Amino acid sequence: MKSDDTNWIQEHLPGWNLIRYVVDDPKAQYTVPKNKGREAMVYLTYIIDHYDKLPDVMVFMHSERYQWHNDDPIYDGVPLLQSLQLPYLISQGYTNLRCVWTLGCPSELKLTELPQEAPSDPKSAKTTEIAYPAAFKALFPGEDLPDVVGVACCAQFALTRQKIRERPISDYHRYRNWIMNTHLDDHVSGRVLEYSWHIIFGRPAVHCPNAKLCYCKVYGLCGLECSEEGKCGERWPFPPFSTLPNGWPGIGWDGEVMNEEKLGELRKSAMKNGLA
């Protein structure tokens, strides 16, 4: 959104070139043909607009520095990008920015167990499950619908130019046209793509790498102790709400003021069961 502050990128990540798409300003330098499908519309429009002049590596992510999607003890995007292991990314072509399995893995969409009736809440995960088979047929014509789809949530990932160009630009036009023309609303159409990106970029329908290995390879955090396959202590604490408090991290979940000392304690507490 045009009101979002993206100055944190230039301030803390001067080596990265920011391409800032603004969905609610048709006069912006970079914008979208239709504000629908959430981040999927932006990502696809960037790929289409820059297909012939893509940089070597790219990160696709939401605009705010602090957001609960970020796989960090205080949901901070800066340390994630600062520690992103580019040689590993280049070797893989695609990597999710999220290692923790909480939300999305190992089986977010169970396509052989669809409910008989649509749920009353249009934002329910079941709504996406119901919509997914027909959407998959449109997005991936001729491919077999998987029984299960699983990937760590939240539609933030890193890519190489080579990985994007493994598909012709016509595929990306097809994905974007589907979003623009589908009867599904903004939330559901965006979630369909959220659980399709890994398939688009060559991963199996269930793509849930071991969290310990993921943190090591993607972020260089190789000293983590992980008692669970999909989680390393409280490296990513499950948030009590789906949005962070206004003023986070200076303002905590209960409205308390969070100074640097308290933030340090929060990080230490979150990591105590995750670091050797």
Per-residue confidence (pLDDT) for residue 261, from 0 to 100 = 77
Question: In this structure, are strands 148-151 and 109-110 parallel, antiparallel, or unpaired?
Answer: antiparallel
Q: In this structure, which long-range contacts are made by residues 164-169, counting pairs with CB atoms below 8 Å and at least 24 apart in sequence?
A: 164/47, 164/51, 164/54, 164/58, 164/201, 165/51, 165/54, 166/93, 166/201, 166/202, 167/200, 169/47, 169/48, 169/51
Per-residue confidence (pLDDT) for residue 274, from 0 to 100 = 47
Q: Looking up tokens 């230039």, which residue turns up?
A: 10
Per-residue confidence (pLDDT) for residue 132, from 0 to 100 = 96
Per-residue confidence (pLDDT) for residue 275, from 0 to 100 = 45
Q: How many angstroms separate the CA atoms of 133 and 145, rounded?
A: 7
Per-residue confidence (pLDDT) for residue 103, from 0 to 100 = 95
276 residues of the chain, pLDDT tens digit each: 999 999 999 999 998 999 999 999 999 999 999 999 999 999 999 999 999 999 999 999 999 999 999 999 999 999 999 999 999 999 999 999 999 999 999 999 999 877 656 555 555 557 899 999 999 999 999 999 999 999 999 999 999 999 999 999 999 999 999 999 999 999 999 999 999 999 999 999 999 999 999 999 999 999 898 999 999 998 999 999 989 999 999 999 999 998 887 777 777 666 554 443
pTM of the predicted model, to two decimals? 0.92
Q: How many angstroms separate the CA atoms of 219 and 213, rounded?
A: 10
Q: What are the extents of the domains in the chain?
A: 7-222
Residue 263: φ, ψ to 5°: -65, -40
Per-residue confidence (pLDDT) for residue 235, from 0 to 100 = 92
Decide: 162 and 156 in contact? Cβ < 8 Å.
no
